[in-house]
């Protein structure tokens, strides 16, 4: 998943809706006019509507209270959130029930521990909360391979970390360092793993997900 602050340039047939004070320059092309969107935003990629193709979910950085969805291919952008966004949330794809339709996990940038979950149904938008340890950020992946996304809460340093499985089980885990984690299925077994990269001379690790929900830690060297 893409996370972070980006200046994006995307071509779509129609103007983006749902973002106040949107500034867009329309550039003519040989086929039809396109809308070029250029602004600093936070984006997440996922299958928000349950289709086979991924779309892009965008949170603008001007705190105008909107988030919007850029669907896969060329199509009309549509408002995805109809409740105010009062912070510069980072959107992350999150499918806790395994139905193939990603929800948007809006990560609280203040580290307060309460995050927003936005689910898009058949024309309806549901907003709920997800509570994690204060100061910890969520790493989302299907770590036990049951088809549902779990959340590993990680805070740099000596703070206690926690794994929340989609089954409802919670497990204390200890990372015990400052890392740049990356989630992916690195061994191709259908369960997501976590690569822990530390800059400098500190040791790096890969945590391989297991069916029981426990990780197997392997030390690696990243140069």
Question: What pLDDT is stored for residue 222 in this prediction?
Answer: 80
The pair of structure tokens assigned to 172 is 């204390």
Question: What pLDDT is stored for residue 90 in this prediction?
Answer: 82
Range with top average pLDDT, 104-113, 114-123, 145-154, 213-222: 145-154
Chain center to CA of 109: 13
Contacts of 29 (CB under 8 A, 6+ apart): none
* Average pLDDT, integer, range 178-205: 93
**pLDDT, tens digit (0-9, with 9 covering 90-100), for 13-51:** 223 333 333 333 333 334 444 434 435 567 677 776 666
Question: What pLDDT is stored for residue 200 in this prediction?
Answer: 81
Domain boundaries, the chain: 1-131, 133-223
Give percent of the chain above pLDDT 90: 35
Question: What pLDDT is stored for residue 194 in this prediction?
Answer: 97
Answer yes or no: are the C-beta atoms of 130 and 104 closer than 8 Å.
Answer: no
List residues bridging with 170 in a β-sheet.
164
Answer yes or no: are the C-beta atoms of 89 and 108 closer than 8 Å.
Answer: yes
For the chain, helix (H) and strand (E) counts, in that order, are 0, 18
Range with top average pLDDT, 3-7, 42-46, 91-95, 208-212: 208-212
Could you give the CA distance from residue 24 to residue 13 in angstroms, rounded to a whole number? 12
């Amino acid at each position: 998943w893409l996370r972070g602050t980006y200046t994006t340039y995307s071509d779509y047939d129609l103007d983006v809706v749902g973002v106040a004070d949107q500034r867009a320059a329309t550039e003519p092309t040989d086929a039809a006019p396109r809308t070029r969107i250029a602004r600093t935003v936070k984006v997440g990629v996922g299958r928000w509507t349950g289709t086979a193709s991924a779309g892009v979910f965008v949170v603008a950085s001007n705190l105008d209270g909107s988030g919007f969805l850029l669907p896969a291919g060329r199509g009309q952008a549509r408002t995805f959130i109809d409740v105010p966004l009062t912070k510069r949330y980072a959107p992350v794809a999150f499918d806790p029930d395994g139905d193939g339709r990603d929800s948007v996990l809006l990560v609280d940038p203040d580290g307060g521990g309460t995050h927003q979950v936005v689910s898009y149904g058949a024309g309806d938008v549901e907003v709920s909360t997800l509570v994690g340890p204060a100061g910890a950020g969520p790493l989302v992946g299907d770590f036990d391979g049951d088809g549902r996304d779990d959340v590993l809460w990680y805070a740099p340093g000596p703070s206690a970390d926690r794994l929340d499985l989609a089954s409802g089980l919670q497990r204390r885990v200890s990372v015990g360092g400052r890392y740049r984690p990356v989630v992916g299925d690195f061994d191709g077994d259908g369960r997501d793993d976590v690569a822990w990269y530390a800059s400098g001379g500190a040791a790096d690790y890969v945590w391989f997900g297991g069916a029981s929900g426990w990780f197997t830690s392997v030390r690696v060297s990243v140069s």
